[in-house]
Structure 1
Amino acid sequence: MAKEQSTGASAMASEGATDGSLPRRQPVQKRSRERLRKILDVAAARIARNGSDQLRMSDVAEGAGISIGSLYQYFPDKSAIVRALAEHYNAQSRQCIEETLRDVATPAQLEVAYVDLLDQYFAMVRDEPVIRDIWSATQTDKQLMSLELTESRLCAALLADAMARAHGQNAKKYESTAFMIWQLGEAVVRLATSVDASESKAILEGFKRMTAREILRM
């Protein structure tokens, strides 16, 4: 759930990634890092316009101003590019979650931060078509599924820690609840972005009420 989004995937080259999305060629020199950023920016723009199903390696290479052979040095196929973009948005979102929850120390602060995160995440997904496309691709890509599950656990752990601080308890007590809420939140945001504005608002507000009661329980 992220407070703000960057243009395309410009930050990807400096972010960590899991093995499933790492490019074949690790950029060390400035020129190589810039080329990787360009590749991902071009891919993100084309996915936003036409969807990942229509993404072609040759189009990405052309848009990035490199040969198809050079592109394959970075990514073996378009699925690897999509996974790299997923890592980018995950890292961006996780950073915001950490910042928003970092200073939570009371139940009141926990409630405000949690509601704020839901609003931020919905706005990010609503305004970023690439994220919605990655969600769709996740249904048929086992590596993306694994990536999504791992990311949910990491984010849920941040929420569990904040709940523990707010209630003066051990974070272990809240792990299952936080993980369930996080997974449900992903599904609810997907639903909210697929309906009209009035229904979307009602769905989000209803989810906030239900889950806020749960996270505020001792």
Structure 2
Amino acid sequence: MSDLPADTPAELRPRALPVQPRSQRNRRKVLDAAHALLKAHGVHQLTTVAIAEASGVSVGALYRFFPNKEAIVCHLYEEKLIEIRKLAIDTRPDAATTPWRAFFEGYFRQLKAAERVVDFDFSLADAIFMLPQLWAIDLRHGMILADQLAADMRALGSPWSDAALFDLAINLYAIDSSVWMYWRYAQRYPALAIDRAIEASLGMMRPAMEGEAEPAALGVTREQLLASLAE
């Protein structure tokens, strides 16, 4: 399972997934060591030699798994996002018995909790500014979450069009992402940022969920984002 766009250059793609248990364990060691080094030193000081030394895996074996450090970081990043989505989506409240405000507040809180559970931290959040390749992975992640969020709004009674709900959902994802900027300023993870983001998000959702007219013009379309991924 991968979020990497189909046209991602070969030099940024991981090698074929190993079959042997020992090789699978070594591949995991490489990814875990890379994350530990990212936390300690950041992307710029990350090298394949340092990753190999920290993981206890030879440089030659590392290159059998990944062609370079960028591919390691890309895989680590997308792996964390996949885990976040699974945790957040699978633990959503029951839409059939939950009012929309409570449903989405619970979902937004679970989304942020999932980030902490899978250890998505400052080192990965900051890596996107150092490796442009991560932007496409993050955009794909945002679109998947937006599709789910739009579907949930529709299921909970919003009369808005699919296009308007997707545009709103992408805007909500941007608000969720902005929590990381506040946390970066604070150098910790104050829950106040989550509370404020949820309050802002529910306020933005109210017109869609209470049947008010949708915006006359939309800022972002799904087609536009897909086109940007294909560039």
Shared fold by TM > 0.5? yes
Partner Cα separation in structure 1 for residue 14 and residue 140 of structure 2: 19
Return the index of the structure with the highest Cα Rg: 2
**2:46 counterpart of 1:46:** no
144, 154, 173: which one aligns with 1:182: 173
What amino acid maps onto 1:99 in structure 2? D
Change in Cα spacing, 1:211 to 1:34, as seen in structure 2 (3 Å) is: same
What amino acid maps onto 2:82 in structure 1? A
Contact 2:92-2:110 within 8 A present in 1 as well:
no
Contact 1:61-1:71 within 8 A present in 2 as well:
yes
Contact 1:100-1:113 within 8 A present in 2 as well:
no
Partner Cα separation in structure 2 for residue 201 and residue 30 of structure 1: 40
Contact 2:150-2:166 within 8 A present in 1 as well:
yes
Change in Cα spacing, 1:212 to 1:107, as seen in structure 2 (3 Å) is: farther
SS state at 1:194 partner: helix
Compute the displacement of 1:136 (Å). Answer: 1.9
Alignment match, 2:83: 92
The CA RMSD measured in Å over matched residues stands at: 2.8
Change in Cα spacing, 1:215 to 1:96, as seen in structure 2 (3 Å) is: farther
Alignment match, 1:25: 16
Alignment match, 1:204: 194
Compute the displacement of 1:121 (Å). Answer: 4.1
Aligned pairs (5 A) from 1:144-155: 144-155=134-145
Aligned pairs (5 A) from 1:114-133: 114-123=104-113, 131-133=121-123
Runs of 5+ in structure 1 lacking a partner?
Answer: 1-14
**2:124 counterpart of 1:134:** yes
Contact 1:39-1:61 within 8 A present in 2 as well:
yes
Partner Cα separation in structure 1 for residue 113 and residue 97 of structure 2: 26
1:96-117 C-alpha deviation (Å, 9 max, x unpaired): 2321337323661x32242234
Contact 1:27-1:33 within 8 A present in 2 as well:
yes
Percentage identity across paired residues of the two chains: 24
Alignment match, 1:105: 96
Which has the larger helix fraction? 1
Partner Cα separation in structure 2 for residue 65 and residue 207 of structure 1: 42
6, 13, 28: which one aligns with 1:37: 28
What amino acid maps onto 1:35 in structure 2? N
Compute the displacement of 1:50 (Å). Answer: 2.3
What amino acid maps onto 1:89 in structure 2? K
What amino acid maps onto 1:76 in structure 2? P
What amino acid maps onto 2:59 in structure 1? I
In the alignment of these two chains, the number of paired residues is 202
Partner Cα separation in structure 2 for residue 196 and residue 35 of structure 1: 32
Alignment match, 2:70: 79
